[in-house]
Structure 1
Amino acid sequence: MAFNGKYELESQENFEQLMKALGLSDEVIKKYKDLGNIVEFVQNGNSFQTSYNYGSKVITNEFTIGQESEFVLFTGHRVKAFAKLEGENKLVITMEGMMAAMELSGDKMIETLTNGEITVKKIRKKI
């Protein structure tokens, strides 16, 4: 199942708790809580490009399954990350202290971000 397409945020849980655990200020958390609502995935075989729209800022990351890549986070920080596919519909990215998983289910993308015991769950609908 290809990840190609744009996905709009429908709901999210525990975003603020994870951001606080990562040491972000309340001001930064408030600024980004409701941004990043639309993400676009372009998949070409094992190569991916993701673009997150954060209001006036768009962050694009490119990576290949099975290879270490550098990712830019919404905060502007750069981290090393490793991506793998689990089956045809689940993309897992591990980076410094965090794991992100995006799983396709029909026209939905269920995104989970995990840092220690805190997990953020975002549900996005394909548009």
Structure 2
Amino acid sequence: MAFSGKYETETQEGYDAFCKLLGIPDDVIEKGRDYKLVTEVVQNGDEFSWTQHYPANHSVCNKFVIGKESDMQTIGGKKFKATVHMDGGKLSVQFPNYVHTSEIAAGKLVEVNLCSLVLKRTSKKL
């Protein structure tokens, strides 16, 4: 499947400004700035398990089916319901404060978080 794999952050653009806009404390922003986030994706057709591993052994796993409302969780632990869509090989989902899109481009996982600012994270496959 196109998304299945384990990925590690290579680059982040707009990290500090995006995190500040979301109200993330400065000390947490500092810890995460150079952290090599690991994302594990298991895709089985339209079913996904999407796990992100953060510092201090903190992980968030969201399981969803394309086009069906699912229970989701933010890094801060806020639970919400959302429907993930796929269009042209790109996943998109509305989080509480931003829109998250993901795609595989040139073998890399490219994630874009968009509100009034943009956070773009590119991760290499491990």
**Secondary structure of 2:84's match?**
strand
SS of the equivalent of 1:23 reads coil
Q: Mean Cα displacement is larger for which, 23-32 or 91-100?
A: 23-32
Deviations 1:46-96 (A, max 9, x none): 110011111311211101111122222112222222201112x21111122
Matches within 5 A, 1:1-127: 2-35=2-35, 37-55=37-55, 56-87=57-88, 89-115=89-115, 117-127=116-126
Q: Which amino acid aligns with 1:25?
A: P
Identity percentage of aligned residues:
34
| 3-state SS of paired residue (1:27) | helix
The runs of at least 4 consecutive aligned structure 1 residues that moved more than 4 Å come to none
Q: CA RMSD in A?
A: 1.5
For these two proteins, the number of residue pairs brought into alignment is 125
Quote the Cα distance in structure 2 between the aligned partners of 1:2 and 1:96: 26
Distance in 2 of aligned mates of 1:31 and 1:58:
15
Q: Distance in 1 between matches of 2:53 and 2:95?
A: 21
TM-score (norm 1): 0.89
The 1:24/1:16 distance shift into structure 2, 3 A limit, reads: same
